[in-house]
Amino acid sequence: MIVYVNELLTMPNFSLNKIPIGVRYMLMSALAFALMSSCVKLVHTYGIPVFEIVAARAIVSLLISYADVKRKGICVWGNNRKLLLTRGVTGSLALICVYYAVSTLPLAEATILQYLNPVFTAILAILFLKEKIHITTIICIFCSIIGLVLMVGSGLTLDHVQQLPLFSIGIALLGAFGSGVSYIIVKRLSITEDSSVIILYFPLIALPLSVILLGNDFVMPSKEALGLLLFVGIFTQFGQVGLTKAMKTEVASKATAYSYIQVVFSIVLGWLVFSEVPSVWTLAGGTMIIVGALVNVIGSLRAQKTLKV
């Protein structure tokens, strides 16, 4: 692994432009989702229910997505409507789980549990998309899992587990699995559907579903909370665009492997915004995740070089 990292850093004329476009989209998506999670956690401190946060996010995303579809002059409803609806349902349920976990768990722990989804995605890609997993992707996932173990192993000791809501941990895992399912569906849809249409179906389902589940628990947000809700929608839209475009240009298992970097982003934001100081084990785990991502970058660059030859 050290050889891989050293090779990347010492490549002649290495620049961000040499990183595959799909990887850049996924990194952008990871940062946007990390910022979104921070806003979700912040707005929850104002007493805003999770379903209301989901509904607010869906409204912003619906307006932006609809405007984008109309700008492109394409059909709003797409071609494979059944699969688009399925993506909307699975994505909405996963989002509710993720928001609940972020609101009830420390940011780092919630993100760590959520980002087990690349493992689910890789397995599902083999079963349903018949994709081959390259050795660098396996190394990336392996390094990331080790990083997660290092980070969780120090914080989620037996004593600490008793302090964390076990229900929230279970919901976070369901959210991770749902995200993996959604990624696979997005990959399949990207063959026949425009990315804007795929993104549009998400708020089309999430908005009515969250409003129904919210019921009579609506809380009138303050100006600060309203601003945070707006940013939740904006950052989510950036994340969705990056994710959808990444899945369209990279194989599912390789693209989502880079989503692990959101764990690192969340650790930094948790420290800056919520004063959650990471432990040495957390930093060690984050380093392993970065190493895994760099290994995957090298593998992608090598593959491109081989194809050109």
pTM of the model: 0.75
- For Cα atoms 169, 124, 181, give the angle at the middle one, nearest 5 degrees: 55
Q: Is 67 within a domain?
A: yes
Q: Is 291 within a domain?
A: no
Q: Is 183 within a domain?
A: yes
d(CA 109, CA 106): 5
Q: Is 155 within a domain?
A: no
Residue 97: per-residue pLDDT: 94
Q: What is the pLDDT of residues 92-129, one digit of tens each?
A: 999 999 999 999 888 887 887 776 776 777 777 777 77
By percentage, how much of the chain surpasses pLDDT 70?
A: 79
Reported as type and span, the H/E element at residue 173 is: helix 166-189
Q: Is 145 within a domain?
A: no
Q: Is 143 within a domain?
A: no
Q: Is 15 within a domain?
A: no
Contacting residues for 72 by C-beta, under 8 A, at least 6 apart:
194, 196
Going from the C-alpha of 107 to that of each of 7, 204, 221, 237, the distances in angstroms are: 33, 28, 22, 20
d(CA 202, CA 206): 6
260: its two tokens: 């692990």
Q: What is the pLDDT of residues 39-69, one digit of tens each?
A: 999 999 999 999 999 999 899 889 988 999 9
Q: Is 82 within a domain?
A: yes
Radius of gyration over every alpha carbon of the chain, rounded to an integer in angstroms: 19
Domain of residue 111, residue span: 21-134+165-255
